[in-house]
Copies of this chain bind each other. A is one copy, B any other.
Amino acid sequence: MPKDTYIPCLLQLFRHYGYDGATLARISEATGLGKASLYHHFPGGKDEMVQAVMDYLDAWLAEHVLPSLQGDDSALEKLQRMCDRLSELYEAGRQPCITATLLLGSARDLFHDRVQARYSAWIRAVAQVLVDAGLDLTTAQQRGEDMVITIQGSLIVAQGLDNPEIFQRSLKQLPQQLCQNLGT
């Protein structure tokens, strides 16, 4: 089997257990591969596995999320499309975000740069949509930050209260909030 086959499984493991908690024993069991086979696909060990998962997600975001912000329709419609895609990514609030998991463990230093780059790009893309809709740059930037804050926060709280609907409600209200006081 080509190594890409195992990426979704690795994503699942790392976002649930974190870098330290996703042990080779667990990974071996979940993928059905022996440890030696895992090192055949990922000679760099867990480090390389996480990088591969991040590559996969970067591609997914570039293909499915960011394009939803393009087009001729209104900012509100763009942001609603984006939220629909994000709901898929996090399975309607039932799945944690791997960036949060990586930021909050001992592997922070290893992956911080990648997480920072992704957050920045994402915030920038949303801010651009709002600037195009007539908002000033500073406010647009803040609302981009607010979007990531709301996504990450509602995923945490959904986990903490064991209630995915908290994520769903937040996501539903998000586009309206981001478009508040837009001239158009």
Chain A interface (Cβ within 8 Å of chain B)? 16-22, 96, 99-101, 103-108, 112, 115-116, 119-120, 142, 145-146, 148-154, 156-157, 159-162, 166, 169-170
Contact = CB atoms under 8 A, between A and B. Distances in A.
Given A22-B106, A119-B157, A156-B156, 11 more contacts: A18-B105, A21-B105, A100-B100, A116-B162, A146-B170, A149-B149, A149-B150, A149-B154, A152-B152, A153-B154, A153-B156
Contacts of A96: 103-104
Contacts of A105: 17-18, 20-21, 101, 104-105
B159 A104 contact: yes
**A interface SS class:** helix
Contacts of A18: 18, 20-21, 104-106
A161 B116 contact: yes
30 contacts: A17-B105, A18-B21, A18-B105, A20-B20, A20-B105, A20-B106, A96-B103, A96-B104, A100-B104, A100-B156, A101-B104, A104-B159, A105-B105, A108-B159, A112-B160, A112-B162, A116-B160, A119-B161, A142-B169, A148-B153, A148-B160, A149-B150, A149-B157, A149-B166, A149-B170, A150-B150, A150-B153, A152-B152, A153-B154, A153-B156
